[in-house]
Structure 1
């Protein structure tokens, strides 16, 4: 059984510093794989962990990065890489990891469950043609057709052959990160915040991956693990740095539980989208001290970004993913606009619910919002202006501040 330690602490408490300290203090015989969302953090680990030599997978002798990752594991090198590469883990990598004795350190939770774009009619076609068979106990999709099929169903074949594809309610498919990867490590450390409301927690619960829950604190020059104490987070002080506009006219577009949800944003007419854009311009100019391009970041549903980009605030320069986390790239931004109302993807939520795992959408949305806000200069203790027109998202933020959630 893998020994999993979840280190849950509010941003800026020193989770990554603790991990770096832990690796520097470890025996030379210990081996680590550090997985992070961003390439900038890859460089940080390579330069900060001085007692172990870390390398990252590259395109080696014409092979893929995944093949190079396998080569590095086989040679027992200390490895730092990204979530994107780690998510491609296959059976061969799992077998190598099972023989290796690595400690996995996962910086921020991964996207370990994804919806697979396929129509229900195509699912029925694959079944009737004998290309796929559904395991009635687990609902796992097994590929029984041509093992080298190169048709438009190639992506389905590859996912099914890897053993990570599931069918639910007869109409949609879900890919999951193979739990065998986590089970291949003797020890794993997950660095995050608000783990209780993240998808990876539901994933661990579903696959029976038990974990110890701790936080981290700084004692003198050293970082040390401690019991999790929610009141030690200092949420009220952080909230004081976030000046959320309460202007009723600007926030009218977000009134109602589902206003600005992904489903609503896709259906809004051009006049409604134009109003949201005008409100954002108004906010930056009159409520955020005439913020300029270099001062801001904006997030919304990717499909409507071009329609909500104010003149002069291009998608390329000002928009970031609405689930952005673990990056310092925007640490100088002082005015932010969160033009979305977050709900968990319905296919993903059904996947967990059908496996008897309870999902709290409010906690999930709050986790996304708090991490997103932390990308700004509040991480440096400086105040920001925030436009959060969604009534629901503002209420969740206030409940979080009062420790009610």
Structure 2
């Protein structure tokens, strides 16, 4: 009889509702025989885990103990069955040996925020090549390997190395990834790396938790569907326990959590002041610039804008900054696609206050009250094509909303304090308004 697949537990709750606090309390209350691997985006957060769970004596992988390699130190810690707090970046590099050590160790996994489980694969490691050049060379090399009989590609875009075909040194790294079943080539154009999905299967971890918000619309949810990995959603609510501002965090069913979520959104509606200036928003309003054709402020739109048109985006952002923030840069956070950061950066829109559009799981910007969101988000079309091979469909609007909300909640909104925000993209602005109106 086939063993029933364990469901991954997703704690799907709004940022600042206490997901991590509840999880740390839960870890402290668990049987000490159950070991924990806590994975978070930032090193600073691993220190927080260590401090909050002192009796667990969490270890943090480091290069010194690993004789120059954090991965080597991670393996040593797993052999010793230590509780471990590490970053997404390190966990993304796990190999078969790490997976076996985890399987042998009675471990529970906690993922603080989703990981980049499907991402572009750069096999060249040349800092001088831009992304576009790397993608073009990779596509050319893959077609050459296919023509020479070194590789094959199945109907789901998965790449296989033909047995007996020894790779040139240049392709050794690529072959290693292919042998681990981590390489997909979508639309004969785009090379993808995927995180080893067996990690989330039935044999590796005793239990798995993922802490995030709006998981159904994120790439890791689509990845789970692509590999038939079941998950179940729960929530955490935050209520004041006493007059001393102590909080109580409660693990609840997702249905019960939604009532709390709707109430929080009604509160957020009073705290978020969305810029409605027609003059400022015209850079992202379709009827104003392109008669409804194309998606303004998307990555492809930025790529085709002239220097003067990019300058106009900068001017509008600076105008909002001056009018709504009184040129007080310390209160501001802003974002744009990284490739176009040099075109938009100014002494007032400085890199010091730039926050990457995929920022999450950090409290570093919780004092920011003025937000400038200059992007219109879409899933990589080649990733979309890959997922469609197994009939996994992404809701582009909900994906964009989920990504934007993560960014917005880096600000002081997470403290239930008011913010002003400039979202010139008509599409993105309307998505936020509909979320606040409980239409999503």
Per the normalisation by structure 2, the TM-score is 0.87
Q: Deviations over 1:96-149 (max 9, x none)?
A: 122121000110011111123354322111122333232x25532123477674
CA contact (8 A) 2:333 2:368 kept: yes
C-alpha separation between the residues in 2 aligned to 1:158 and 1:267? Answer: 37
Give the aligned partner of residue 82 of structure 2: 77
C-alpha separation between the residues in 1 aligned to 2:415 and 2:166? Answer: 53
Matches within 5 A, 1:124-163: 124-134=143-153, 136=154, 138-144=156-162, 149-151=168-170, 153-163=171-181
CA contact (8 A) 1:291 1:335 kept: no
SS in 2 for 1:297: strand
Is 2:339 the counterpart of 1:300? no
Deviation, structure 1 residue 64:
1.4
CA contact (8 A) 2:160 2:181 kept: yes
Is 2:364 the counterpart of 1:352? no
SS in 1 for 2:322: helix
Is 2:203 the counterpart of 1:173? no
Is 2:222 the counterpart of 1:202? yes
C-alpha separation between the residues in 2 aligned to 1:148 and 1:100? Answer: 35
CA contact (8 A) 1:11 1:193 kept: yes
CA contact (8 A) 1:339 1:390 kept: yes
Deviation, structure 1 residue 63:
4.1
C-alpha separation between the residues in 2 aligned to 1:360 and 1:347? Answer: 15
Per the normalisation by structure 1, the TM-score is 0.94
Give the aligned partner of residue 329 of structure 1: 364
C-alpha separation between the residues in 1 aligned to 2:439 and 2:248? Answer: 31
Which of 111, 121, 124 matches 2:140? 121
Give the aligned partner of residue 223 of structure 1: 249
SS in 2 for 1:343: coil
Q: CA RMSD in A?
A: 1.8
SS in 2 for 1:212: strand
Matches within 5 A, 1:12-161: 12-59=16-63, 60-116=65-121, 117=135, 118-134=137-153, 136=154, 138-144=156-162, 149-151=168-170, 153-161=171-179
Q: Deviations over 1:47-78 (max 9, x none)?
A: 00123110111113524111211111121100
Matches within 5 A, 1:382-393: 382-393=417-428
CA contact (8 A) 2:186 2:383 kept: no
CA contact (8 A) 2:107 2:205 kept: yes
Which of 271, 289, 292 matches 1:241? 271
Q: Deviations over 1:343-362 (max 9, x none)?
A: 01112111111111121010
C-alpha separation between the residues in 2 aligned to 1:69 and 1:173? Answer: 28
C-alpha separation between the residues in 2 aligned to 1:218 and 1:282? Answer: 38
CA contact (8 A) 1:36 1:82 kept: yes
Is 2:260 the counterpart of 1:232? yes
Is 2:435 the counterpart of 1:400? yes
Give the aligned partner of residue 127 of structure 2: none
C-alpha separation between the residues in 1 aligned to 2:258 and 2:272? Answer: 20
Extract unaligned runs of 5+ from structure 1. none
Deviation, structure 1 residue 239:
2.5
C-alpha separation between the residues in 1 aligned to 2:181 and 2:271? Answer: 47
Q: Deviations over 1:287-328 (max 9, x none)?
A: x2313221111111111111111334322x021111111111
Which of 333, 343, 347 matches 1:311? 347
